[in-house]
Amino acid sequence: DAELLERRGTTIGPYSPLFYRTPRHFVHGEGVWLTDAFGRTYLDAYNNVPQVGHANPRVAAAVAEQIATHNVHTRYLHEGVVNYAEELLATFSPELDRVYFTNSGSESNDLALRIARHVSGNSGILTTDFSYHGNTLTLAAMTTGLDVSEPFGEHVRRFTIPDLDHAGGRGEPEVLAEALAQVAEAIASLQEAGHGLSAVLVDPSFSTEGLPRLPQGYLEGLAALVHDAGGLVIADEVQSGLGRLGWAWWGHQVTGLVPDLVTMGKPLGNGFPLGGVVTSQAVMDSFSSTNMYFNTFAGTPVASAAGRAVLAEVHERGLVQRAADLGERVRARLAEIEAEHPLVASAKGRGLFFGLELVDADGAPNPELAKAIVERLANEGILISRIGPHDSVLKIRPPLVITAEQLDVVVDTLSRALHEAAPLPVGAGA
Ligand code: PMP
């Protein structure tokens, strides 16, 4: 692997850091399992691209069959493409009945911002103060959760997502009022600067932000402020979508955010590049009647075959409800860990998307412990990661096909690793 690492560094470059102190080199996948070049298997409790399992046979067969038949861009008629559009839109509420296909989350968000700018006639954008929505020029100018040298856009304002686990003794109504006042202030600042508001772009689960626990009514209040200012609400479902949060297909349906545009990526094609923007007929008519949108590789017959196979898997295996049921079970166990371990500040998330927030003895964020636990679990054959503004929230987000027993292994190993890395003080945890 040292030679491969060297070759990677002198071609792809060393600046896209690999996960782990000892980089992992996978050569095979199946379900929740990944096998490395040394024949060691890992339980993947992190990746959400293989939503219906690594190397899913149905997706592989659908792609192979269509690519061996023909593949053309979407300016020719193809029944599979239209079938996919219909099947995908059937998972949304009736008002969201039009779709643009893309190849990635970045393309989806870039297009959604462009549409919002056109429809609203404004240029200002709201984003949270720790988020990532993609790699285009527009998105780089509004990135707050990663290092980018692109100057922060003069037409962008950031706001903080409230977290009841960090309320500092304030009550829920107070946290809510303060958070919404901050949004109103950001909108007023955009208006004063002459930008107006085109859109707020948010992930309904706020995953990059560390899965905060929101006050009741926050998302409704946020959407109302945005609409009152003439802006559109864009729900970035790259992480929260396709059953991830349980109970419903899309994160906004679970959290209560009512969007004008929904952007999608990662899990849609289970590894085949496929993304999209879903919106209403009125929004599509407004934008597309004067804006040609064409995207060579997006929503081709092959991409649609992948997308249809993924939807069929989620439907037939009941993965949305399963995510809810399994998630409840895991959340109960994580709450136990939170109660017994002084360095676990809060258990977060829902469906099959969990966070465990780690602190030090003084209650400050503990990225060192989080890093040590992520490394330790990898050495024990389990993949997880970490998120949040301090990188101190453990991130557990397995393929939806994970079983209850496999989740038990993840939580048991995590619990053991926490106790061994940071033993309970004598007398604690009884
Ligand atoms: N939005 C969110 C919430 C994401 O997590 C990501 C990728 N990490 C993106 C957008 C960008 O997606 P892509 O890498 O497919 O362009």
Rounded distance, CA 290 to CA 303, Å?
A: 27
Confirm if 331 and 211 have CB atoms less than 8 A apart.
Answer: no
pLDDT of residue 421: 84
Enter the pTM of the model: 0.97
Closest ligand 1 atom to Cα of 106: 16
Residue with the smallest CA separation from ligand 1 atom 2 is: 133
Res 346 pLDDT > 70 = yes
Centroid of ligand 1 to alpha carbon of 263 (angstroms): 10
Mutating to test ligand 1, I would choose from 144, 234, 239 the residue with most ligand atoms within 8 A of its C-beta, which is 239
Distances (CA, A) of 175 to 169, 180, 201, 226, 286: 10, 9, 21, 19, 37
Q: What is the mean pLDDT of residues 87-110?
A: 98
Rounded distance, CA 99 to CA 204, Å?
A: 19
Mutating to test ligand 1, I would choose from 136, 137, 236, 238 the residue with most ligand atoms within 8 A of its C-beta, which is 238
Q: What is the mean pLDDT of residues 333-348?
A: 95
pLDDT of residue 429: 46
Centroid of ligand 1 to alpha carbon of 168 (angstroms): 31
Centroid of ligand 1 to alpha carbon of 54 (angstroms): 19
Distances (CA, A) of 75 to 112, 252, 296, 299, 404: 21, 31, 9, 10, 45
Centroid of ligand 1 to alpha carbon of 246 (angstroms): 20
Rounded distance, CA 268 to CA 48, Å?
A: 10
Rounded distance, CA 145 to CA 156, Å?
A: 14
Query: Could you tell me the strand order of the sheet in which 275-279 lies?
Result: 98-102, 275-279, 261-264, 232-236, 197-202, 124-128, 156-159
Residue with the smallest CA separation from ligand 1 atom 12 is: 105
Closest ligand 1 atom to Cα of 240: 3
CA diameter of the chain: 71
The tokens for 137 are 């020029």
Centroid of ligand 1 to alpha carbon of 254 (angstroms): 20
The tokens for 299 are 């929503």
Q: What sign does the dihedral 90-311-211-154 (CA atoms) show?
A: negative
Mutating to test ligand 1, I would choose from 46, 48, 106, 107 the residue with most ligand atoms within 8 A of its C-beta, which is 106
Confirm if 159 and 190 have CB atoms less than 8 A apart.
Answer: no
pLDDT band at 408 (very low <50, low <70, confident <90, very high): very high
Closest ligand 1 atom to Cα of 203: 3
**Among 244, 292, 242, 291, residue whose Cα is nearest residue 268:** 242
N- to C-terminal Cα distance for the chain? 45
Other beta carbons within 10 Å of 314: 23
Res 423 pLDDT > 90 = no
Residues at CB less than 6 angstroms from ligand 1: 104-106, 109, 132-135, 203, 236, 238-239, 265-266
The tokens for 86 are 């219909």
Centroid of ligand 1 to alpha carbon of 44 (angstroms): 19
Centroid of ligand 1 to alpha carbon of 239 (angstroms): 7
pLDDT band at 262 (very low <50, low <70, confident <90, very high): very high
Confirm if 78 and 71 have CB atoms less than 8 A apart.
Answer: no
Mutating to test ligand 1, I would choose from 19, 51, 132 the residue with most ligand atoms within 8 A of its C-beta, which is 132
Q: Which residues pair with 276 in a beta bridge?
A: 101, 264
Distances (CA, A) of 178 to 68, 89, 182, 389: 57, 36, 6, 20
Q: Show Cβ contacts of residue 404 under 8 Å, excluding neighbours closer than 6 positions.
A: 326, 329
Res 17 pLDDT > 90 = no
Centroid of ligand 1 to alpha carbon of 423 (angstroms): 36
Closest ligand 1 atom to Cα of 135: 16
What structural domains and CATH numbers belong to the chain? Answer: 2-52+318-421 (3.90.1150.10), 57-316 (3.40.640.10)
Backbone phi and psi for residue 263, each to the nearest 5 degrees, phi listed first: -110, 145
Confirm if 255 and 63 have CB atoms less than 8 A apart.
Answer: no
Centroid of ligand 1 to alpha carbon of 367 (angstroms): 23
pLDDT band at 147 (very low <50, low <70, confident <90, very high): confident
pLDDT of residue 427: 53
Closest ligand 1 atom to Cα of 207: 3
In which region does residue 285 sit, left (phi positive, over 0), alpha (psi from -120 to 50) or beta (all else)? alpha
ipTM rounded to 2 decimals: 0.99
Centroid of ligand 1 to alpha carbon of 340 (angstroms): 35
Closest ligand 1 atom to Cα of 131: 3
Confirm if 279 and 262 have CB atoms less than 8 A apart.
Answer: yes
Residue with the smallest CA separation from ligand 1 atom 16 is: 106
Res 251 pLDDT > 70 = yes
The tokens for 394 are 């453990």
Q: Between 281-288 and 105-120, two packed helices, what is the crossing angle to 10 degrees?
A: 80
Tell me what the pLDDT averaged over the chain comes to: 96
Q: Show Cβ contacts of residue 239 under 8 Å, excluding neighbours closer than 6 positions.
A: 48, 203, 205, 207, 208, 251, 266, 353, 397
Centroid of ligand 1 to alpha carbon of 256 (angstroms): 21
pLDDT band at 59 (very low <50, low <70, confident <90, very high): very high
pLDDT per residue over 380-397, tens digit each? 999 999 999 999 999 999
Rounded distance, CA 276 to CA 262, Å?
A: 8
**Among 258, 262, 251, 239, residue whose Cα is nearest residue 46:** 239
Centroid of ligand 1 to alpha carbon of 132 (angstroms): 7
Q: What sign does the dihedral 207-172-253-281 (CA atoms) show?
A: negative
